[in-house]
Structure 1
Amino acid sequence: MTVFKFVILAASLALSGCSAIFDKEVEWEYVQPDEYPVIRAVGYAPISAQHGDSMALKTIQAVKASKLDAYRELTEQVYGQKIEGNQQLSNLVLSDDGLKSSIQGVIRGAQVVKAYAVDDDTYVTELELDFKKVYNIYLSTARPKRIKQVNYY
């Protein structure tokens, strides 16, 4: 009976070892989503609060600030917002309560839809991020793949 077990064991090891001899070819295909969302964000900046000697300079800085605010909102929508909170007790009485948020990410492919002044003291920038454009930018840098077919030889 032990000889029979040895023959079975040797045969199974030999057959499993043969699979390493065969080579394989993997065919890949590119994955494309069914639909692409378009998200929008609005940024605001006060004109009179900007630093500058003239109203024109303050307006230019408000334009830039409102655009950055809109990008911050887009980043928040795409990547989310990290929230950190802390509380401190002193003699079982709440002595300090804090909340901190941060956003981090890279936005590519956004475009300004509108930029305009409101009420002569607020500048507004509206951005749009079309994920079809983001996907095309992504494809140009990192080609995502999935296995289409595997051929063994």
Structure 2
Amino acid sequence: MSWITILKPKSIFAACLLGGGLVLPGCGIVDKHVEWETVEPETYPVLKAIGYAPINAQTGDTESMKLIMAMKASKLDAYRELTEQVYGQQIAGSQSVSNLVMNSETMKSSVEGVIRGAKVVKTYPVGDDTYVTELTLDMKKVHDIYLTTVKPRKVKSVKYY
């Protein structure tokens, strides 16, 4: 039987301290200072998205109201496309089979996220019944906005005492 197994649990810590250099690294008693620095990517992509909306299908009493609603709908569609590019798209599907015969099949997709820093490049009608909005998202600008809220860091140096 070794002398550590004879010691009580409270005195094992004292044995670690008394054991010296051989046992001390295993005891985990090390004090250190970590210095951090921010990390910046080498390149930043510029994402582009286009949103479409039909004008005549919009609700509204006048053509002007329908046009304004189509403007808003095409902008939302462009933002949805940007969100897909940044965060991806979640797709869920299900199938139902009974007696080896397909009963039903459904598929659902969803996109969720926050887009900051997007810029409307153009907004214009195409033909008689479609409205288009073009957006860009400069990821450099997104990175700068991100840095104002959260400071990403990496280890710059570690000093052990």
Per the normalisation by structure 1, the TM-score is 0.88
Partner of 1:10: 19
Q: How far, CA to CA, are the matches of 1:105 and 1:29 in structure 2?
A: 28
Partner of 1:45: 53
Q: Could you tell me which of 59, 64, 84 is aligned with 2:92?
A: 84
Q: Structure 1: 5+ residue runs without aligned partners?
A: none
Q: 1:100 to 1:17 in 2, by over 3 A?
A: closer
The answer to whether structure 1 residue 149 and structure 2 residue 157 are counterparts is: yes
Q: How far, CA to CA, are the matches of 1:62 and 1:16 in structure 2?
A: 68
Partner of 2:148: 140
Q: Which runs of 4+ in 1 moved over 4 A?
A: none
Q: How far, CA to CA, are the matches of 1:18 and 1:75 in structure 2?
A: 49
The Cα RMSD (Å) is 2.1
Shift of 1:17: 7.4
Q: How far, CA to CA, are the matches of 2:152 and 2:98 in structure 1?
A: 54
Matched pairs, number: 146
**Alpha-carbon deviations, 1:39-81, whole Å to 9, x = none?**
1000000111111111111111100000000000111111111
Q: Secondary structure at the match of 2:34?
A: strand
Partner of 2:75: 67
Q: How far, CA to CA, are the matches of 1:16 and 1:91 in structure 2?
A: 66
Q: Structure 2: 5+ residue runs without aligned partners?
A: 4-14
**Alpha-carbon deviations, 1:85-128, whole Å to 9, x = none?**
11111221111111111111111111101100011211000010
Q: How far, CA to CA, are the matches of 1:28 and 1:51 in structure 2?
A: 55
Shift of 1:10: 2.4
Q: Percent of counterpart pairs with the same letter?
A: 61
